[in-house]
Amino acid sequence: MKHILITGGAGFIGSHLADHLLAQGHTVTVIDDLSTGSIENIDGCRQNPNFYYHINTIMNEPLMAELVDRADEIYHLAASVGVRLIVEKPVETIETNIRGTEILLELAARKRKRTLIASTSEIYGKSSKVPFTEDSDLVFGSTTRPRWGYACSKAIDEFLALAYHREQKLPVTIVRLFNTVGPRQTGEYGMVIPRFVRQALAGEPITVYGDGSQSRAFGYVGDIVGALAALMDEPRAVGDVFNVGNDHEITIRQLAELIIQRAGSKSAINLVPFEKAYDENFEDLARRVPDLRKIKSLIGYEPKLGIQEIVDRVIVYFREKGGA
Ligand code: UDP
């Protein structure tokens, strides 16, 4: 039985991780400022006597010092996430992601607490060497395009975490999360699957950006949180970086068609030019697929849910919830 701290634990992935760790009998403390997370996400956890939560910011250093001291292990998931948020609030994104992680790492390093830092597949930028391996080059666009501020902020987090490992022996692991989906994810911040499912259920046109030939590989949140916990338990993962996701690729147009079919919807597909969807400085990525050989060989990771089952579960979730 461990005491585990999850920053961003009321978020989509963080709340699923909290469920998973509580089910294993651990004590879980969450800190979340509810910027993109919600109390509803942790409704189930709140029934559990081993669950504690603080609605507060990770920038609150005295509180963070106390929470880090009490924890045996720390999952750092708190961050500004989602393409839309990044384009709309670049200052907040860059500051939260860099300063917040710096505070956490400094505190964790003092007590050498086992830490896992959530990074992102955005970090590979627009590299065309698909699938992405952990040692691939990072290829970012100009600073005049806000999207890359997110990738750069996460790259700094990774450099800093690895530096704390090397210089101060912080037992840290970095995970690069690829497109992660499932119940509780909201379409509010631009994420494609909850948006398409909501549109399909409402019989509204499905807004496919560009020509829909861009592709992604979607991982189920339950598979992802299992992988994070397994990496945390694996001493050989310390000081290293891992892709986490699913490597089955699908184009956004195929995804729209699949969602329409699985939802039994009559929605049409509406192609929206990228400049209308975001702004003229936006750059989308043509393809993004993880190379999963590293995590597979270390912990025997195998994603269980394919895209059709994922879509079905999200449809059930939104039907029960009654809208996005
Ligand atoms: N997308 C889309 N319609 C939407 C939302 C997103 O066509 O309503 C596309 C988006 O342009 C991207 C893909 O779906 O190519 C995945 O977008 P998301 O924001 O979920 O994640 P990203 O991989 O871009 O971080």
Question: CATH number for the domain including 172?
Answer: 3.40.50.720
Supply the DSSP symbol for 176.
Answer: E
State whether the Cα torsion 260-183-153-59 is positive or negative.
positive
Ligand 1 nearest-atom number relative to CA 84: 19
Is residue 228 located within the same domain as residue 185? no
Q: How many domains does the chain have?
A: 2
User: Of 53, 75, 124, 150, which residue is the catalytic one?
Assistant: 150
Task: Identify whether 150 is a catalytic site residue.
Answer: yes
Residue 189, pLDDT score: 80
Is residue 252 located within the same domain as residue 172? no
What residue numbers bound the domain in which 194 lies? 181-216+248-288+305-322
| Pair of tokens at residue 309 | 């089952």
Is residue 186 located within the same domain as residue 176? no
Residue 219, pLDDT score: 98
Residue 274, pLDDT score: 84
Supply the DSSP symbol for 290.
Answer: B
Residue 34 resides in a domain: yes
Is residue 193 located within the same domain as residue 210? yes
Is residue 267 located within the same domain as residue 192? yes
Query: Can you give the pLDDT of all 324 residues of the chain as single tens digits?
Result: 999 999 999 999 999 999 999 999 999 999 999 999 999 999 999 999 999 999 999 999 999 999 999 999 999 999 988 667 778 888 988 999 999 999 999 999 999 999 999 999 999 999 989 999 999 999 999 998 888 899 999 999 999 999 999 999 999 999 999 999 999 998 888 899 999 999 999 999 999 999 999 999 999 999 999 999 999 999 999 999 999 999 999 999 999 999 999 999 999 999 999 888 776 667 788 999 999 999 999 999 999 999 999 999 999 999 998 754
Is residue 118 located within the same domain as residue 172? yes
Is residue 46 located within the same domain as residue 139? yes
Read out DSSP for 108-157? HHHTT-EEEEEEEGGGGBT--SSSBPTTPPPB---TTSTHHHHHHHHHHH
Is there a contact between 247 and 217 (Cβ–Cβ < 8 Å)? Answer: yes
| Pair of tokens at residue 98 | 């860099």
| Separation of alpha carbons 76 and 14, rounded Å | 9
Task: Pick the residue whose CA is nearest to atom 14 on ligand 1.
Answer: 192
Task: Pick the residue whose CA is nearest to atom 20 on ligand 1.
Answer: 191
In CATH, what number is assigned to the domain containing residue 199? 3.90.25.10
Between vectors from CA 197 to CA 265 and to CA 301, what angle results, nearest 5°? 125
Give the residue carrying structure tokens 């505190």: 107
Q: What is the dihedral of CA 35, 36, 39, 42, to 10 degrees?
A: -130
Pocket of ligand 1 (CB under 6 A): 83, 179, 190-192, 195, 207-209, 214, 216, 252, 284, 288
pTM, two decimal places? 0.96
33 C-alpha to center of ligand 1: Å? Answer: 25
Residue from 132, 192, 195, 259 whose mutation best tests the ligand 1 pocket (most atoms within 8 A of CB): 192
Ligand 1 nearest-atom number relative to CA 199: 8
Residue 296 resides in a domain: no
Residue 83, pLDDT score: 67
